[in-house]
Amino acid sequence: MVPLNNKKRTVSGLYIVAALLLLGIGLFWGLTGGLQYLIPGFLKESLSFEKVRPLHVSSVVFWIILGAMGAVLTYLQQHTGRQIYSHLILKMQLLIFIFSIIAILISYCIGMFGGREYWEYPPLLALPITIGWIFFLINFIKSVKSFRKQPVYVWMWLTGIVFFLFTFLESYLWIFPYFRNNIVTDMTVQWKSYGSMVGSWNMLIYGSSIFLMDKINNNKTYSHSNIAFILYFTGLFNLMFNWGHHIYTLPTYAYIKHISYAVSMTELFILGRIILKWKSSVSIAKKNFHLAAYRFLIVADVWVFLTLLLALFMSIPGINLYTHGTHITVAHTMGATIGINSFLLLAIAFDILNDTCRSFVPYKKIFNNGYWLASISLLVFWISLIGAGIIKAKWQLSTPQTLFSDMMLKLRPFFIAFFIAGTAMTTGFLLIIYPLLKNQLLCYFKKNSKEKKITGYYPSATFRIE
């Protein structure tokens, strides 16, 4: 047995710590919003739903963005076997993001808006975020040095970083009158940029997950294989062209909608592959179920399947007409950002942060409870949103339309289920991230005298649960 390590905390690890804190904050705002579904007008004077929704969405979106950046920056160094090109840029990037996020959250609390949906903060704050992202790009390219014969995940990281910058800037084109003055152009560009932006951060997270899988399996066969590159190009193709389902309801060119519908259907290939590989996935999962990081990969795999199924269903123009603007869209967004993005990032967080001066052994029970609670309650949470969405979709297109208040009354049981499941899910997530954050904090301040005595070796990705 090798003693637990006393390594200095890395800056790239701090990105993950900051991301986990944002997840905790985002969950709190999510619950507040869920309560406002149930009790309309709750906290209306001080923190109305108009403030709580962006507070929640921005916190969780930045959990994903900071987590993805931390994952890429850490794994990049493990991949090259070298230090990052510039530690100064790395630190400046983190500080820029932390200060910008704090400014964004404060601006919502004091009611300063001015941006568009999802980026509702004053547009000036987009400037430091852009600068921080350019730092990311420079540090990445300089650290990789050569792109020859690189595994698929390096290409995914590069694609994700470049496309995020592009689509983030694109989402601000509305500040120019040329785009703003034509509502259809404005909305088309806006929703196109959002669709592709999600595809960009997915590239960063999926690439990091492939790196992690290679690390667990201890070989790089998959990341250099043809199938890995075929799947990468399918993802890239979708990132660029499948955003049309966001604008089915806009009176724009029909060919845009037809192309994007056809492109969306290429994702059936990914779906088919998951089904075909189901049997072998289950046996590999059984073999690795004792690894904390692997457990999150398994649950994320289930959510890739469920989300893709719902997304393909929603991409059918006739059905999209019904689902548009209902809780089914929210179910799709939350299913993807929680079930896929958040679980993959937790797998990565457990890999990167479990290599500390303190043992995780005392937290096994807490972890197990948190894992099952979060995984099961997410399913109930998702189903209740879809249920509410179906009722609203029927109401939206019914003639003659019943009263809005009658429809809202019908939604109540779904909102109750949504809130209860949301509370259970929040508890689950907090139980999962508690040991990670506690160990980081205590190791940082070296207040770990008691548990330092415990010996054992917990190398990355091999934190055993049973």
Rg (CA), the chain: 22
Please list, in sequence order, all residues whose beta carbon lies within 8 angstroms of the beta carbon of residue 377, skipping any fewer than 6 positions away.
421, 422, 424, 425, 428
Min dist CB 63 to ligand HEM, Å, is 7
Tokens of 361: 């052994």
User: In Å, how far from its chain's centre is CA 210?
Assistant: 16
Nearer to ligand HEM, 15 or 419 (CB): 419
Footprint on residues 323-352 left by ligand HEM (CB under 6 A): 329-330, 333-334, 337-338, 342
Helix/strand/coil for 397: coil
Integer Cα distance of 329 and 384 in angstroms: 13
Q: Which stretch binds ligand HEM (CB under 6 A): 29-37, 98-106, 247-255, 454-462?
A: 29-37
Binds ligand HEM (CB under 6 A): choice among 18, 19, 30, 348? 30
Tell me how many residues contact ligand HEM (CB under 6 A): 24
Min dist CB 46 to ligand HEM, Å, is 17
Nearer to ligand HEM, 202 or 356 (CB): 202
The residue whose Cβ lies closest to ligand HEM is: 422
Please list, in sequence order, all residues whose beta carbon lies within 8 angstroms of the beta carbon of residue 400, skipping any fewer than 6 positions away.
none
Integer Cα distance of 40 and 52 in angstroms: 13
Nearer to ligand HEM, 39 or 127 (CB): 39
Residue given tokens 């959002």 in the structure block: 194
Binds ligand HEM (CB under 6 A): choice among 17, 25, 37, 436? 37
Q: CB neighbours (10 Å) of residue 324?
A: 16
Q: Which stretch binds ligand HEM (CB under 6 A): 51-59, 92-100, 130-138, 308-316?
A: 51-59
Whether the CB-CB separation of 174 and 190 falls below 8 Å is answered with: yes
Whether the CB-CB separation of 461 and 215 falls below 8 Å is answered with: yes
Binds ligand HEM (CB under 6 A): choice among 11, 21, 31, 141? 31
HEC secondary structure over 55-102: HHHHHHHHHHHHHHHHHHHHHHHHHHCCCCCCHHHHHHHHHHHHHHHH
Whether the CB-CB separation of 239 and 203 falls below 8 Å is answered with: yes
Nearer to ligand HEM, 69 or 84 (CB): 69
Binds ligand HEM (CB under 6 A): choice among 213, 291, 346, 425? 425
Whether the CB-CB separation of 99 and 128 falls below 8 Å is answered with: yes
What interhelical angle do 292-314 and 254-265 show, nearest 10? 140
Binds ligand HEM (CB under 6 A): choice among 17, 27, 344, 431? 27
Strand partners, 464: 291
415 binds ligand HEM, rule: CB under 6 A: no
Instruction: Report which residue type is found at 364.
Output: K
Min dist CB 385 to ligand HEM, Å, is 9
Q: What string marks each residue from 244 to 263 as x (binds ligand HEM by CB under 6 A) or -?
A: --------------------
Integer Cα distance of 249 and 318 in angstroms: 10
Nearer to ligand HEM, 230 or 383 (CB): 383
Nearer to ligand HEM, 135 or 191 (CB): 191
HEC secondary structure over 242-270: HHHHHHCCCCCCHHHHHHHHHHHHCHHHH
Min dist CB 30 to ligand HEM, Å, is 3
Tokens of 190: 């806006």
Integer Cα distance of 86 and 93 in angstroms: 11
Footprint on residues 53-92 left by ligand HEM (CB under 6 A): 53, 56-57, 60
Min dist CB 441 to ligand HEM, Å, is 21
Q: Which stretch binds ligand HEM (CB under 6 A): 12-20, 30-38, 215-223, 397-405?
A: 30-38
Min dist CB 421 to ligand HEM, Å, is 8
Nearer to ligand HEM, 174 or 418 (CB): 418
Integer Cα distance of 393 and 325 in angstroms: 8
Min dist CB 239 to ligand HEM, Å, is 18
Q: What string marks each residue from 365 to 404 as x (binds ligand HEM by CB under 6 A) or -?
A: ----------------------------------------
What interhelical angle do 292-314 and 327-334 show, nearest 10? 150
Nearer to ligand HEM, 190 or 426 (CB): 426
Helix/strand/coil for 290: coil
Binding site for ligand HEM (CB under 6 A): 23, 26-27, 30-31, 33-34, 37, 53, 56-57, 60, 329-330, 333-334, 337-338, 342, 418-419, 422, 425-426
